[in-house]
Amino acid sequence: MSNLNPTLKTAMRLSPVIPVLVIDRTEDAVPLARALVDGGLKVLEITLRTPNAIEVIQEIARNVEGAVVAAGTVTTPAQWEAAARAGATFMVSPGLTPALIAAAAEASTPLLPGVATASELMIAMDGGFECFKFFPAQQAGGTAMLKALGGPFADALFCPTGGITVETAPQFLALPNVACVGGSWLAPASLVKAGDWDAIRALAQAASQLKAA
């Protein structure tokens, strides 16, 4: 069982890529997470897009040594509370609402809120946030947008997610305001269905070695 509970900034810098995972079968959760962690990717974002997502978070948090489990696609305080009870060490949201800002003030687990525009970033910073998910990264302007935001908002630290690939990740990692990227390519559905954990471990090892372009 992992007892890791890093700060949000520390978690974002543990590895260059955070796998963004949609896990349909609970029995795949532990072997998939172990393959990714063994490959060098310690932080795992489990999206709340499946009915079993809370159970998946609990299984990984309890059984995968070294994993830092995040809950993704958190859109309500109720989801936040359930994910925290299951063992998630931080939350990731695609956007930010007044309800989530209020929840953040009371919660013991931090939130990585999603932003896509300067106005959304200003609202989030007013709410006390310093670290952000830039989402959807490619559709919202990619590296050019992040460079533009870096001028007036030099203190903001980003994890761009959405449409990023192993080929384009180094371009994002080269930016001074990017700590890591979120990637969905680490756990292809075909490999998960086949239980090919060695192949997934190899993908994780390659991602863990990504450098700034």
What residues are labeled active site? 45, 133
Say if residues 179 and 155 touch (Cβ distance below 8 Å). no
- DSSP 3-state of 50: coil
Residues 6 or more apart whose Cβ sits within 8 Å of residue 213:
170, 171, 173, 174
d(CA 3, CA 157): 25
d(CA 202, CA 197): 9
Rg, the chain, Cα only? 16
